[in-house]
Amino acid sequence: MKQIVRYLKPYAWGIAFVFGLVGLRALLDLLLPTILGRLVSEGIGISGTGLSPDASRIYDLAFLMFGITVLSIGVTILGGYFESRISASFARDLREAVYQKISRFSLAEMDHFTTSSLITRSTNDIQQLQTYVNMLMRMIILQPVLAVGAIAFSVSQQPTLSMVLIASVTALVFMLVIIFTIVMPKFSLIQKLVDRLNLVTRENLSGLRVVRAFNTEKQQAKRIDQASFEAMKLNVFVNRITGIMWPVMSLIMGGTSLAIVYLGARYFVGVDGFEPGQLMALIQYAMRAIMSFMFMSMLFILIPRAAISARRVSEVLSMEMTITDPDTPEALPEGMKGEVVFDKVSFQYPNAPEPVLCDISFVARPGMTTALIGSTGSGKSTLINLIPRFYERTSGAITIDGVDIKDMKLSDLFNLLGYVPQKGVLFSGTIKDNVLFGMEESEDSLEKALTISQSKEFVDAYDNKADHDISQGGTNVSGGQRQRLSMARAIAKNPLVYIFDDSFSALDYATDRKLRTMLDQNVKATKLIVAQRISTIRHADQIIVLDNGRIVGKGRHQQLMETCEVYREIAYSQLDKEEL
């Protein structure tokens, strides 16, 4: 919670100003019953002996009440403006901090939280905190001051009769303690169920075509219904318990008013100077005190939810990063070539029983293509993800031009790399926006990238060419077009090292061949290609064969066909002898 509170520090003076306005509003509200009592006693002239109205006094006290009411309304509006502004700014800062932290997560941290949970924490949980901060500024000063002040003013009117109010407040507090003891543990479960509901919904929406193709809409609907039903049962239980508060509070409030009126009129009015006007004031103060406790109960309902949301957001903000910039980063040498060296590299996932990669050593030279191939689960993608430090190697060294990637600033490392994932990722915007992603606009770079990646033909077919709009996720282009545009984005960056993580898989053989030829002719940087198809890598300068996380073959295509059984089995499973 402390970590969340520090995001309110920039608004400390604004919060203090709001508290001042709220305190002033509470004071103004507490004056009204006393003035009303004086109006009844002094203006209307109601007393134990009769009625003696004073018109001028009525006007004076009525105008005074009107002025106080108008001033209280103005203070409330001004306070509400600042409350909303501060709480919204707090939520914006917190959401930005959470996003910045998530954007620096490695794949290990992403696996720890899951995407659906991070979405819930960034939206629902922060919204809960914004609401709580708004309510807190409005009520944390106002309602306690009104409650204590109302009790104090009622005691000043008639101490003995005020014991009715104190007894009612004691019963109210006792009831609230019991209810919150029952309800508070349930709020944590509600947030977990929201996570689960988001996870199931996200899975169904992202795999909607598969669900339809296998005609499993009913089964998937049952999964959502089950998650929704569990959340519904818990919410119904919580709402039923908290719903008991309001009738009981109304009963206590009505009983308190009735008791004060009955006892006051029967035993106290006219005794020791206690006038009907004071009785009316005491009734007003009793209503204010009980209403204040009712509003405070709303605040207490929010407390457990806000505490749980604060804890969940704090978990993201306090997550220890496994991959960070070094304390003293090494400056990159001038004239870098992009030679990538793996020296006895091993990697093991956290809590995994055995390493995924063992003793990996090879050199990827500038201007040459190094390909990685192997059966499913052999560790190809894991190996390639060690270069941009999406995962951190367990042992060994990975260097680029002799500089260990651990000794580089992450931003410097990323500037050296052009990464193309297996699943082409496009963002909403135009083709130009996606290809020149995060770079200054350059028509030459755009044309070159589109040409090399074999994207120019289908891009030019659009009416507005490179200004054609891409929908979110690139759903309005084919899988092969997404992959080619992803490659164009990497080519436009003009990095020293290209990483293609099985990014040729959606291309037909003709386009695959043309693209590789253009890469060889126009891109002289280091190229690392992960592939499943022999045809994609058979002309590579160096092919590395992986099996169960170890290198079992290294060389060119013909050499591996003669010396590496694993490579030979993969090759014959895809192509016949004549094609090979």
Model confidence pLDDT, tens digit, residues 420-432: 888 878 888 888 8
User: Does 303 reside within a domain?
Assistant: yes
Specify whether 56 is located in the same domain as 25: yes
User: Does 46 reside within a domain?
Assistant: yes
User: Does 71 reside within a domain?
Assistant: yes
User: Does 442 reside within a domain?
Assistant: no
- Torsion angles phi and psi, residue 48, rounded to 5: -70, -15
Give me the tens of pLDDT residue by residue for the chain, a chain 580 residues long. Answer: 677 888 888 888 988 998 899 888 888 888 888 888 777 777 676 655 555 667 787 888 889 889 999 999 999 899 889 999 999 999 999 999 999 888 888 777 887 777 777 888 888 889 888 888 888 888 878 888 888 888 888 888 778 888 888 888 888 888 878 777 777 677 667 766 776 777 777 777 777 777 777 787 788 778 777 778 877 887 787 777 777 777 887 888 888 888 888 887 777 776 666 677 777 888 888 888 888 877 777 777 677 677 778 888 888 888 888 888 888 888 888 888 989 999 999 998 877 788 899 999 999 999 899 999 988 888 888 899 899 998 889 999 999 998 999 999 988 999 899 998 888 788 888 888 888 886 776 777 888 888 888 888 888 888 888 888 888 777 888 888 888 888 889 888 889 999 998 888 778 888 888 888 888 888 889 999 998 888 888 888 999 999 888 999 999 988 988 888 888 888 888 776 666 5
Specify whether 308 is located in the same domain as 377: no
The H or E element that residue 79 is part of is: helix 55-103
pTM, 2 dp: 0.71
Contact 471, 427 (CB under 8 A): no
* Closest to 133 measured CA to CA, from 314, 8, 258: 8
Contact 509, 397 (CB under 8 A): no
Within 8 A by CB and 6+ apart from 30, the residues are 145, 146, 149, 150, 153, 285, 288
Chain position carrying tokens 């909607």: 208
Specify whether 530 is located in the same domain as 411: yes
Contact 301, 136 (CB under 8 A): no
Specify whether 226 is located in the same domain as 137: yes
User: Does 403 reside within a domain?
Assistant: yes
User: Does 456 reside within a domain?
Assistant: no
pLDDT on residue 578: 62
Sign of torsion, CA 229 234 236 237?
positive
| 320-345: b (≥16 Cβ within 10 Å) or e | eeebebeeebeebeeeeebbbbbeeb
User: Does 335 reside within a domain?
Assistant: no
pLDDT on residue 379: 86
Specify whether 217 is located in the same domain as 363: no
pLDDT on residue 347: 92
Specify whether 96 is located in the same domain as 138: yes
Specify whether 285 is located in the same domain as 359: no
Specify whether 148 is located in the same domain as 269: yes
What are the structure tokens assigned to 387, written together? 């270069």
**What pLDDT digit, counting tens, does each position of 450-487 carry?**
888 888 888 888 888 888 888 877 788 888 888 888 88
Q: What is the CATH number of the domain that holds 398?
A: 3.40.50.300
Residue ending a domain, choose from 285, 317, 349: 317
The β-bridge partners of 70 are none
Could you count the other beta carbons within 10 Å of the beta carbon of residue 250?
Answer: 12
For 530, the domain range is 340-424+495-574
Specify whether 235 is located in the same domain as 367: no
User: Does 82 reside within a domain?
Assistant: yes
Specify whether 311 is located in the same domain as 219: yes
Residue ending a domain, choose from 302, 317, 332: 317
Specify whether 283 is located in the same domain as 420: no
Q: What is the CATH number of the domain that holds 176?
A: 1.20.1560.10
pLDDT on residue 579: 61
Specify whether 373 is located in the same domain as 285: no
Number of domains into which the chain is organized: 2
